[in-house]
Copies of this chain bind each other. A is one copy, B any other.
């Protein structure tokens, strides 16, 4: 069953067109949707689940750039599609997902014939750009302890994550996360266990 907010708004003729062309893909957790350097096959639409997009530096350290969820569009792919250059980041399925791949030809047709589709794509682009600008500012200027705090506040206890994974979320080194967390534990703000952070209120 293919349902995606951007497809729902299409006129019936185009919707049929889409349904004939694309096939839904099941993406198990851990699956890599694309890797850095790979060419782009089409525009993925996420039907359900979440996919994280991350980038790896020369020294092997990674940072999560943003996430895609239900009804999202992998806008990043459009650029690759247009220019023919490979992806610069990689996409990892976080929660088991379903997606469809819109090939180049169909994408052009949709852009041509549906103002709603165009709007959806533009909005998605705007959001990504915004996300990335915010991220640049965070990484360039904000203190790590603040960012860690914020990250923790935004979820519910207990958080099941390793220090290494958390380091990738924040774009820092594992040791830095370990030390900051230990400090928080000394202050009584969290309780640490292997792969698990319990938020013990204030």
Q: A residues bordering B, Cβ < 8 Å?
A: 55, 57-59, 61, 63, 65, 75-76, 78-80, 82-83, 88-89, 108, 111-112, 115, 118-119, 122-123, 125-130, 132-137, 139-142, 171-172
- Counting chain B CB atoms within 10 Å of each CB, the highest count among A75, A82, A129 belongs to A129
Residues of B within 8 A of A108 (CB): 115
Least CB distance from A122 to B in Å reads 5
Give the distance in Å from the alpha carbon of A125 to the alpha carbon of B123 in the complex: 12
Interface of A is mostly: helix
Give the distance in Å from the alpha carbon of A65 to the alpha carbon of B132 in the complex: 10
* Sample (27) of A-B pairs whose CB atoms are under 8 Å apart: A55-B137, A57-B140, A57-B141, A58-B141, A61-B140, A61-B141, A63-B136, A63-B140, A65-B133, A76-B129, A78-B125, A78-B126, A79-B130, A82-B123, A82-B126, A88-B133, A88-B134, A108-B115, A111-B118, A125-B125, A129-B129, A132-B132, A132-B136, A136-B139, A136-B171, A139-B139, A139-B140
